């Protein structure tokens, strides 16, 4: 729901100011699914609001469930654009929602299915937040709840900075969803002005950088945004972020078989990190195994997953070079819900 429109509508209906908070709490805290379910406001008001204002900005089109317990939702916006979100169920009981910030993406990374769609528009703060609410309602019915939110679905968050910031504040609001800032993470492809704005914020939201290569030549090949913000601009900005915030930086590194997964690549990555004192002090490399993505005709793409031996050798180099690292568990691959796979497949079928 667009809360700005709600407030205006309530004022036009001559309602007392406290009605706004009642309805906001019903949606974000109590996870009500419609005006008719908000029992602490008059029936006549429920009917008026139902007639004048859509309760949801997004329409849930399809739900897919993975064998590992993860789920992927396909939504349509009010102007008929498709976006996808993913729920990841971890073995420790935590529940992470991966949200999209744009319909399509402006970055067009070569390994990412979203980039093949092109860019339609940025999402509003309410469209972003409602992706979380949709999964939260589902989990509530099972006695569970959303524990983490990551902004690393479709789109580049820092090219929609204002709406992303407002969505974070909305989800963090104690008079609403009340999710702690330390449980929220934003992943960027390396938009330097966005990182600088993020560094200046007075909050404890986590930052992740999609690095994927330690040389400008390879990174520009994989991520065209590197031509605008090459490593010599990006890395000092990340160093300044860690120095200012004293918060751990997550360095995302997608392992692509026979492209960036060799021991030599691992050494080069370690060399890069060692050149920046603050990044070295307080960062962790998150190794991600590539999930193959078919093109629009159903043919496999040109990238492949790393061989197990290459993966082990890469990890051994990082350990030897005293680089903190972790390997991200892959979820939702069977429903194209894993890293780089969000592409609105149902749309192309239709």
Q: Are 341 and 347 in contact (CB under 8 A)?
A: no
Q: Is 39 left (phi over 0), alpha (psi -120 to 50) or beta?
A: alpha
Cα angle 170-171-175, degrees, rounded to a multiple of 5 = 70
Kind and range of the H or E element at 45? helix 43-52
**What is the three-state SS of 202-263?**
CCCCEEEEECCCCCHHHHHHHCHHHHCCCHHHHHHHHHHHHHHHCCCEEEEEEECCCCCCCH
* 28 to 143, 219, 224: CA distances (angstroms): 16, 40, 38
Closest to 159 measured CA to CA, from 130, 194, 125, 185: 194
Contacts of 199 (CB under 8 A, 6+ apart): 237, 240, 241, 244, 245
Q: Which are the catalytic amino acids?
A: 84, 339
Look at residue 283 and give its three-state secondary structure.
strand
* 198 to 163, 180, 269, 309: CA distances (angstroms): 13, 17, 24, 38
In whole angstroms, give the CA distance from residue 57 to residue 83.
Answer: 12
């Amino acid at each position: 729901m667009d809360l700005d429109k709600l407030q205006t509508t309530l004022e036009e209906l001559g309602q007392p100011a406290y009605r706004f908070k009642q309805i906001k709490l019903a949606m974000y805290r109590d996870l009500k699914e419609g005006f008719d379910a908000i029992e602490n406001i008059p029936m006549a008001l429920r009917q008026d609001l139902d007639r004048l204002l859509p309760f949801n900005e997004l329409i849930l089109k399809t739900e897919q469930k993975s064998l590992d317990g993860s789920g992927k939702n396909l939504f349509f916006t009010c102007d008929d654009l498709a976006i996808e979100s993913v729920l990841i169920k971890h073995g420790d009981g935590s529940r992470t929602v991966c949200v999209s910030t744009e319909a399509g993406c402006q970055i067009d990374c070569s390994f990412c299915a979203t980039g093949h769609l092109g860019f339609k528009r940025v999402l509003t703060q309410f469209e972003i937040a409602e992706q979380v609410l949709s999964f939260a309602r589902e989990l509530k019915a099972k006695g569970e709840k959303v524990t983490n939110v990551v902004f690393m679905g479709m789109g580049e968050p820092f090219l929609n900075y204002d709406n992303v910031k407002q969505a974070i504040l909305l989800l963090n609001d104690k008079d609403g969803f009340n999710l702690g800032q330390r449980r929220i993470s934003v992943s960027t492809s390396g938009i330097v002005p966005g990182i600088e704005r993020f560094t200046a914020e007075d909050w404890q939201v986590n930052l992740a950088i999609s690095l994927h290569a330690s040389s400008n030549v390879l990174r520009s090949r994989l991520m065209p945004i590197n031509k605008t913000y090459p490593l010599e601009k990006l890395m000092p900005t990340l160093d300044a972020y860690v120095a200012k915030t004293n918060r751990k930086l997550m360095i995302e590194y997608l392992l692509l078989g026979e492209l960036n997964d060799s021991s030599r690549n691992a050494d080069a990555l370690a060399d890069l990190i060692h050149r920046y004192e603050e990044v070295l002090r307080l960062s962790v490399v998150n190794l991600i195994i590539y999930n193959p993505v078919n093109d629009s005709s159903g043919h496999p793409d040109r990238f492949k997953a790393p061989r197990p031996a290459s993966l082990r050798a890469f990890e051994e180099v990082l350990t030897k070079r005293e680089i903190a690292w972790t390997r991200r568990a892959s979820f939702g691959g069977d429903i194209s819900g894993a890293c780089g796979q969000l592409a609105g497949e149902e749309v192309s079928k239709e």
